[in-house]
A and B are shown apart, each in its own frame.
Chain A
């Protein structure tokens, strides 16, 4: 813990990113508690057609959309979707990528087959593949997470496999095998822990990427369904009114940009802390 404190003090970017992400996480948590109404002030779904397309004011801080729904309330509630997607994707891709990566790193036959499939998957432009998949499977929060996991898995698998391939030649692994350690023991005790640093760095990249992809899918009209407010679908709904009420899209976009920036800052900070060789390189 003392190490964490020092890392945060030495790296103002990491500190700023952590603070912003913490605030967003708090907002997301508050919106599922009874305190939501106090902080968000309105029900994000409450219609008030009399007050439609209002500019930001004292009663509606971020203005209202075409159905008179309060954009401030919707934006706060949107934090939930972004963070749920980002956390689910980062965790699932880490588990799946590590499992596949460690397996193929130690099995030549599986390696050839699986990595060809992964190469094939990486030959698709990710957003287009995600769009096509969500369109096929149907728009739902679960499918959005599923699809982002599918497009991200090859990247994580590659990272893990690369590390495993270099580790298996190390003398400490050889020694472990020489004294008769079983294969699972070598894999889980000696290899897996050493893949963690690059895996965490990669996971942080996917964490930020997932927030952007979820929002992009929402903006393109196939992401999270409209009855769940998400930054992407609020911005999308505001797009038609950019000439009348620009603020519908502006505020959720600001939250989105800040969150992604914070996630990237934390990712870069983690890279500095976990991989000192790369310090200052990127």
Chain B
């Protein structure tokens, strides 16, 4: 197991280097002068020149790259060119709402998705199965931002149960925190559950075809214990991998959800910075989110090996 962990950890190194390279190249992909684009429409030539020296864009590319690598490795992500704040500070002030959203949203997605998927597979071919599949098809097809606006219109504008926009931190008010997060978490949970339903259903159906399930049935076990004692145990492993997909869905989900509900989290920071052409912040967030994504997938791979010894070979 240790050897396997070491191997998988080492394999992430080139991926992370690649992620860094892409993030670095971003500024140099811009058509024309990046400093010009970042400075905005109202900047004079002096402002542009100042920004260019500040960001080191006047130096040769390889020199910029080595400097950038040095800084990044030391954990210095640089400054926002919009408000001059350090990016580390920006991230730390914005991370709390995003973590709450991702945690509860992910939890809701799993608690909705797994039972619906199990139900669909267990009652395969019946109306319950079709309902489960309809849920999955709608969840995959309906754009999250549109569903979010519908939730706002119905539950916040008309019924007035929840605030239309904004976020209240846990320190300010517990009820405010719950009220401001309910709709966004529901949105993430509903959209996130769709893939889980599909994966759970598919992997359970595969297990149902196995010989030992037929044996369990033919020796007269109740359907319930065939499902819970035999089938679900074997299907658990592929369901774990779904969490990897869920992580991808959640990262996309928080960007969209925070924009719909105007929640000041990391996702909204991404869209704000993109809109302001604040490249240093966009670069750092791209790296940070890719890093989180790579790490989650690493954990999923490792847990896979933990549950299924065959993988380690």
A residues engaging B (CB < 8 A)?
116-117, 119-121, 123-129, 131-138, 208, 212, 215-216, 219-222, 235, 238-239, 242-243, 246, 249-250, 253, 256-257, 260-261, 263-265, 268, 280-282
Contacts and interface: CB of A to CB of B under 8 A. Distances in A.
Contacts, number: 149
B216 interface: no
Contacts of A215: 143, 145
B30 interface: yes
Contacts of A256: 143, 146
Chain B's interface size range is 35 or more
Interface of A is mostly: helix
Interface in B251-287: 251-252, 255-256, 259-260, 270-271, 274-275, 277, 279, 282-283, 285-286
Contact of B150 (A123, A128, A219, A250): A250
Contacts of B138: 261
A200 to B, nearest CB: 19
Contacts of B274: 131-132, 134-135, 220-222
Given A123-B19, A128-B285, A221-B271, A138 B31 contact: yes
Given A116-B14, A265-B137, A222 B275 contact: yes
Please list the 6 inter-chain residue pairs (A to B) with the smallest Cβ-Cβ separation, ordered nearest first: A120-B18, A253-B146, A261-B141, A125-B251, A135-B274, A127-B252
A219 B271 CA distance: 10
A131 B22 contact: no
Contact of A131 (B206, B255, B290, B294): B255
Given A125-B289, A136-B30, A215-B143, A243 B164 contact: yes
Contact of B260 (A124, A132, A239): A239
Contact of A219 (B14, B145, B285, B290): B145
B15, B146, B256: residue with the most chain A Cβ atoms closer than 10 Å: B146
Interface in B172-198: 198
Contacts of B289: 124-125, 128
B202 A242 contact: no
Contacts of A250: 149-150, 153
A208 B252 CA distance: 16
B31 A137 contact: yes
Given A261-B137, A281-B206, 13 more contacts: A124-B19, A129-B22, A131-B271, A132-B282, A220-B274, A222-B274, A222-B275, A235-B149, A242-B152, A242-B164, A243-B164, A256-B146, A280-B124
Contacts of B149: 235, 238-239, 242, 246, 249-250, 253
B141 A131 contact: no
Contacts of B140: 264
B141 A119 contact: no
A135 B277 contact: yes
A243 B256 CA distance: 19
B252 A126 contact: yes
B60 to A, nearest CB: 21
Contact of A264 (B30, B137, B206, B282): B137
Nearest to A213: B252
Contacts of B146: 235, 249, 253, 256-257
B259 A128 contact: no
Nearest to B144: A216
A242 B157 contact: yes
Given A222-B275, A264-B141, A132 B18 contact: no
